[in-house]
């Protein structure tokens, strides 16, 4: 009995790279693309309308939980690696007591 390959595939450009998504259905692929676009919208360095770009330019914004969580994770890695992976090398806003609300207004 021959096996039946029902995997669907779609290639998209998101997060500044080409991504090929393989899943069991087009519906699953659509959900993955929707999630990818949501992350890209919040975190794109090259899109001036993204939360990340607005934060870089304005130093305070109303933001999504995606950006806030990424900032917290980046800061935690900076602490855990004693600065080897420091996403904030020139940022004077951070001290040993991290307070993301200093320049990120949750909305």
pLDDT for position 90: 55
37-89 pLDDT per residue, tens: 988 888 888 888 888 888 777 766 676 788 888 888 888 888 888 878 777 66
Q: Is the pLDDT of residue 27 over 90?
A: yes
Average pLDDT of the chain is 77
Q: What is the Cα–Cα distance from 48 to 52, expressed in whole angstroms?
A: 8
For residue 106, list its beta bridge partners.
63
pLDDT band with cut points at 50, 70 and 90 for residue 102: very low
Q: Is the pLDDT of residue 21 over 90?
A: yes
- Comparing C-alpha atoms, which of 87, 90, 67 is closest to residue 79? 87
Q: What is the Cα–Cα distance from 98 to 107, expressed in whole angstroms?
A: 19
pTM of the model: 0.63
CA distances from 82 to 5, 25, 85 (A): 48, 44, 8
Q: What integer is the mean pLDDT of 19-40?
A: 93
């Amino acid at each position: 009995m021959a096996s039946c390959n029902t995997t669907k595939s779609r290639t998209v450009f998101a997060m500044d790279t080409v991504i090929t998504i393989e899943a069991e259905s087009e519906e699953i692929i659509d959900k993955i693309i929707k999630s990818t676009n949501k992350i890209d919208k919040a975190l794109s360095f090259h899109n001036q309308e993204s939360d990340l770009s607005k934060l870089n330019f304005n130093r305070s914004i109303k933001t999504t939980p995606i950006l806030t969580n990424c900032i917290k994770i980046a800061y935690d890695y900076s602490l855990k690696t004693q600065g080897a992976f420091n996403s904030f090398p020139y940022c004077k806003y951070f001290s040993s007591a991290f307070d993301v609300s200093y320049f990120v207004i949750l909305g």
